[in-house]
Every structure is written in structure tokens, then in C-alpha cells.
Amino acid sequence: MKSPLVTEAVFHIGPVAVSEPVVATWAIMAALGLGGYLATRRLRFVPNGPQAFFELLVESVDSQILDTMRVEPAPYRAFIGSLFLFILAANWSGLVPGAEPPTAHLETDAALAFLVFLAVIFFGVRAGGWLGYLKAFASPSPLLIPLNFVESLTRTFSLLVRLFGNVMSGVFVIGIVLSLAGLLVPIPLMALHLLTGAVQAYIFAMLAMVFIAEGLEPQASDKPKRGAP
């Protein structure tokens, strides 16, 4: 059986080997980018069908950010929303025959978790400056500085392992059942995999929000700023 921990190169561009998850990631990026362009090409004040759907999507992302982080959602909407949409599309891309979700490989998840790690630093520094961001490491007591520092690394690692483990185990189980039983038997498992993929995308975006909110200045994240109900 093929190991889920290794990826083989599909083709080479010069000295750089391009593997199958990378190609799948490019395809998803292109599809999402094209979809975003087409969806926002003719915006109207009174939305028609597709525009209403996308507005609903953006509004639900906004309300999640508002509820979880208790800050104005506008600076974080793009990052959190694209994380969620990309992971959702990546998890569900396993439905395309012959394609494997890029998130079922360690490298894609590592890149996403590293993005979250950088975003925590970026948003923390932008909210409170370098001093305020570093002060957050000593937040309950200076004794906890090593613990907080280690935590910021391990939670990135656990973010990566969680997404990888969930998606990869789903793909793996479907593969095993398919090799044991017939054609239609894995369908319930695939339906379960759809649910897991959606929940994992939601949880990844949610944890990214929680981590970013922790890195913000305490006084900025304390007061709830309720906009539209």
C-alpha cells in the first residue's frame, strides 16, 4: 500500500519537482480565483441569486469573526475567509474522480499552519506594535514566557497534524474499503468524509481566529464592538 507520508513528483520544472498535491493546489487556486472574479464582476445594489449566496457566505464569515474575536471583522475577513474556502475546496476535491485532496498530504497542511503562525505575528504586531506583541507572551506572569513560547509552536504543529490526520485518515479508509469491497460500498464513508472535511475547514478557520485574537492586544479584544445585529 502506498505510504501517505511520501509524495512522488509528477513532473519537473527545471530542478524543482512538482508533485500531485501542488498541481491540485494550483487547480483549486485557479478555480477559486476565477470563481471570485466571475462572482464579483457585476455587483448590484439589490443582489440577484448568486450574489445573494456569496453575500450570505461573507456575512456568515463576518459574524463568526465578530462572535469569536470580538473585533471589527474587516481586517481579518480576507485571511480567514480564504483559509476556510481553500480548505473546504481542498477537502471536497477528493470527490473529483482521480483527484486526491491536497490536504491529505503533510506539505499542504504545513504550509497552511505556517501561514496561520505568520498571521498571528503579523496581526499581533499590527495591533499592538512589537512591544505589545512580545508583552502578550508574559501575559499572566513572566514565569510563563517559556511555556507561552513553546505553546505558540506546538499549537501550530497540532493545527497541521489535526488537518492532515483527519483528511488523510478519511482518504485512507475509503481506499481500504474500496480495495476490500465493491463499487458502491464506500459511498457512506465518502459522505462522512464530506462532513469531516467541512467540519475540519470550519475548525481550522475557527482556531486561526482564536489564535489571532489571542495575539491581539488585550484591551482591543476585550470590548465587544457589535455592529449590525
Partner 1 sequence: MNWLHFASIIGAAVAVSFGAIGPALAEGRAVAAAMDAIARQPEAAGAITRTLFVGLAMIETMAIYCLVVALLLLFANPLLA
- Per CB under 8 A, residues contacting partner 1 are 3-6, 64, 67-68, 158, 161-162, 164-166, 169, 199, 202-203, 206-207, 210
Nearer to partner 1, 88 or 128 (CB): 88
Q: How far is the CB of 105 from partner 1 (least distance, A)?
A: 13
Contact predicate 87/203, CB 8 Å: no
Nearer to partner 1, 128 or 212 (CB): 212
Number of neighbours of residue 47 by Cβ within 10 angstroms: 13
Task: End-to-end CA distance of the chain: give it in Å, rounded.
Answer: 53
Q: How far is the CB of 171 from partner 1 (least distance, A)?
A: 12
Nearer to partner 1, 39 or 161 (CB): 161
Q: What is the rounded distance in angstroms from the CA atom of residue 23 to the CA atom of residue 41?
A: 27
Nearest to 7 by CA among 101, 116, 112: 101
Q: How far is the CB of 228 from partner 1 (least distance, A)?
A: 16
Nearer to partner 1, 77 or 162 (CB): 162
Q: How far is the CB of 2 from partner 1 (least distance, A)?
A: 9
Nearer to partner 1, 32 or 206 (CB): 206
Q: How far is the CB of 202 from partner 1 (least distance, A)?
A: 7
3-state secondary structure of 16: strand
Backbone angles phi, psi at 219, to 5 degrees: -70, -25
Nearer to partner 1, 79 or 164 (CB): 164
Q: Name the CA radius of gyration of the chain, rounded.
A: 20
Q: What is the rounded distance in angstroms from the CA atom of residue 220 to the CA atom of residue 229?
A: 20
Q: What is the rounded distance in angstroms from the CA atom of residue 198 to the CA atom of residue 222?
A: 30
Q: How far is the CB of 119 from partner 1 (least distance, A)?
A: 18
Looking at the chain, how many residues does it have?
229
